[in-house]
Structure 1
Amino acid sequence: MKAFYLFIFIPFFGFTQNQPEIKVLDSLYREDQFYFGITYNVINNKPQSVSQNSTSGSIFLGFLRDMPINKLRTFAVAPGLGFSYSNFKQNLLIKKNEDLIQYSIIPKGEIYDKNRFSFVTIDVPLEFRWRNSTPQSHRFWRVYGGIKASYVLYNQSQFVSSKYEYKVVNNPDFNRFLYSVYLTAGYNSGNIYLSYGLNDFFRKAFFNESSEKIRSLNLGLIFYIL
């Protein structure tokens, strides 16, 4: 009789041990809520005499609240909050003479170590999202478009040569609010990022004969997680 019970129990025990673990899928999942990006910056809408002479870039990061708007969760809107640092290396010399901000073009052939302006912003993006994600996989195609309002927390221009050094901090001619539109597309975590500035960096023209005040075009990569 003892052998009979063992014969019945052992196969049953083995069957229960081999049952696959059942995973509960989250049908209310959200995607891509943290982001980090780097870009190459191009000066756009500039006076003819202004030119870039070195690599300029930006780094940015932040959080976006993913809010799906359809049952399959393939369409969503995502408001967010982030920070950016950007710099532009070019030949526009900015210096302060008492209370007056002066602008001029560095003569060709002049040797100097550094000339750039940079700024730090707090960003408020709003994204409109499409992706073919599912609850089973975190690998999917995406196309996101957005608009972004940025508040300039700090700006600085700096010129350094063997003879002179000029620095202007929080130039009052620099616009406090910057606006842009952007597009990102790709697969999985890494994606191409393109951004176009909608307004000028500066409030007034640098030279009387020119109305351009410099905008930006940014091309780079953005990475989404969680």
Structure 2
Amino acid sequence: MRSIVFVLSFVCFFDCIAQEIISEDRSVKSRYFEDQFYLGITYNFIRNKPDDLKQRNLSYGLMGGIIKDIPINRSGTKALGIGLGFALNTYYSNLVVRELPSGFSYDIGSIGPSFKRSKVETHGIEIPLEFRWRNSTPSDYRFWRIYAGMKFSYVVGARSKLVTSDYKDGFFNTDIDNFQYGLYI
């Protein structure tokens, strides 16, 4: 029994020394990474819309995810970022979407005075790609940064909802463009 305890103690001792040497060696060669979680709130604008289409209420977006930092210089002041996230976007307007047996019908406010609100909502998987420029170091966290990039999104679900004084109607909208993208800074 004593020999087993001695051998285990001996192996654990050398294992600790080996890990210490490896970690010291890695700290000398390591580069500075700044991986980040992101959360965001946006106000969505409808672009290239017909004159009759009016945006109503607060058309918002909520997003969150993680971005992996890939330094492109030794000091880590310049880097690329690639990430994965999820986004919810809503668009309130006077666009009336109806589900028909032959597809979907889109009309601008043609439902009359009983119209209250109409909403199109999308859920998407996001892939942000960004160029990162900063003056931070591994020991100093007070710094400035400029991050600019593109965000690609694949819509995994879309829902339309219509509310009038007479009824409510909601359904999954399958004719939304699945691939979306945008620039940001």
Q: TM-score range by the shorter chain?
A: 0.7 to 0.9
Secondary structure of 2:31's counterpart equals: coil
User: 2:177 is matched with which residue?
Assistant: 175
Query: How many pairs align?
Result: 159
Contact 2:31 2:75 in 1 (8 A): no
User: 1:196 is matched with which residue?
Assistant: none
Instruction: Please report how far the alpha carbon of residue 108 of structure 1 lies from its aligned counterpart in structure 2 after TM superposition.
Output: 9.2
| Larger CA deviation: 136-145 vs 61-70 | 136-145
For residue 53 of structure 1, the aligned residue among 45, 56, 59 is 56
**Structure 1, gaps ≥5 residues long:** 1-23, 184-226
Q: Which amino acid aligns with 2:52?
A: S
Q: CA RMSD in A?
A: 2.1
TM-score, normalised to structure 1, is: 0.65
| Aligned ranges 1:72-221 → 2 under 5 Å | 72-107=75-110, 110-171=113-174, 173-183=175-185
User: 2:43 is matched with which residue?
Assistant: 40
Instruction: Please report how far the alpha carbon of residue 113 of structure 1 lies from its aligned counterpart in structure 2 after TM superposition.
Output: 3.7
Secondary structure of 1:163's counterpart equals: coil
Instruction: Please report how far the alpha carbon of residue 75 of structure 1 lies from its aligned counterpart in structure 2 after TM superposition.
Output: 0.4
Q: Give the Cα–Cα distance (whole angstroms) in 1 for the partners of residues 136 and 122 of structure 2.
A: 36
Q: Give the Cα–Cα distance (whole angstroms) in 1 for the partners of residues 32 and 38 of structure 2.
A: 17
Q: Give the Cα–Cα distance (whole angstroms) in 1 for the partners of residues 35 and 130 of structure 2.
A: 11
Q: Give the Cα–Cα distance (whole angstroms) in 2 for the partners of residues 40 and 52 of structure 1.
A: 11
Q: Give the Cα–Cα distance (whole angstroms) in 1 for the partners of residues 40 and 135 of structure 2.
A: 22
Q: Which amino acid aligns with 2:54?
A: S
| Larger CA deviation: 117-126 vs 140-149 | 140-149
Instruction: Please report how far the alpha carbon of residue 100 of structure 1 lies from its aligned counterpart in structure 2 after TM superposition.
Output: 2.5
Contact 1:94 1:168 in 2 (8 A): no
User: 1:199 is matched with which residue?
Assistant: none
**Structure 2, gaps ≥5 residues long:** 1-23
Q: Give the Cα–Cα distance (whole angstroms) in 2 for the partners of residues 58 and 29 of structure 1.
A: 32
Q: Give the Cα–Cα distance (whole angstroms) in 2 for the partners of residues 91 and 170 of structure 1.
A: 17
Identity %: 41
Contact 2:155 2:178 in 1 (8 A): yes
Q: Give the Cα–Cα distance (whole angstroms) in 2 for the partners of residues 109 and 103 of structure 1.
A: 15
TM-score, normalised to structure 2, is: 0.78
Q: Which amino acid aligns with 1:181?
A: L
Q: Give the Cα–Cα distance (whole angstroms) in 1 for the partners of residues 184 and 64 of structure 2.
A: 15
Instruction: Please report how far the alpha carbon of residue 45 of structure 1 lies from its aligned counterpart in structure 2 after TM superposition.
Output: 1.4
Q: Give the Cα–Cα distance (whole angstroms) in 2 for the partners of residues 77 and 68 of structure 1.
A: 6
Name whichever structure is richer in helix by fraction.
2
Which fold has the larger relative contact order, with Cα–Cα distance below 8 Å and residues 6 or more apart in sequence? Answer: 1
Q: Per-residue displacement from partner, 1:71-115 (whole Å, max 9, x unpaired)?
A: 221100011110000101001000012232111111597244431
Q: Give the Cα–Cα distance (whole angstroms) in 1 for the partners of residues 157 and 143 of structure 2.
A: 37
